[in-house]
Amino acid sequence: MHVKKDDLVQVIAGDDASKTGRVLSVLPQEGKVVVEGINRVYKHLKPSRRNPQGGRLSKEMPINASNVLLFCGNCKRGVRIGRRYLADGSKERFCKSCEASLGRLSKPRETYAGQEAQAQA
């Protein structure tokens, strides 16, 4: 999955296309994500002891993860991402357009330390 919880993403398809929001949860088994303020639906509630008034509850529903792109702060838009190893052996995500770092994915590992120099040669 190319996005994680609390990432800022841009929706690229559907009714909410071109809107941005924060990822509230990721459902990797279904390949879906729940984004704050995106794909809102109304759930109608009958009156009950807990909710004596009843009414309509607005909530976000999951959307397919392929319909969102990670938002790059430098490019100011949703971008495709790549993954690379740094000199200390940690893995990070980066913007394919401007090469800016979009956050670390793993802690430093000795196995992968110094491999970016070999890949460029």
* pLDDT band with cut points at 50, 70 and 90 for residue 118: low
**What is the pTM for the complete model shown?**
0.84
DSSP 19-79: -EEEEEEEETTTTEEEETTSSEEEEEE---SS-TT-EEEEEE--EEGGGEEEEETTTTEEE
What is the per-residue pLDDT across 3-58, written as a single tens digit (0 to 9) for each? 999 999 999 999 999 999 999 999 999 999 999 999 999 999 999 999 899 999 99
Domains assigned to the chain: 1-79 (2.30.30.30), 80-121 (no CATH)
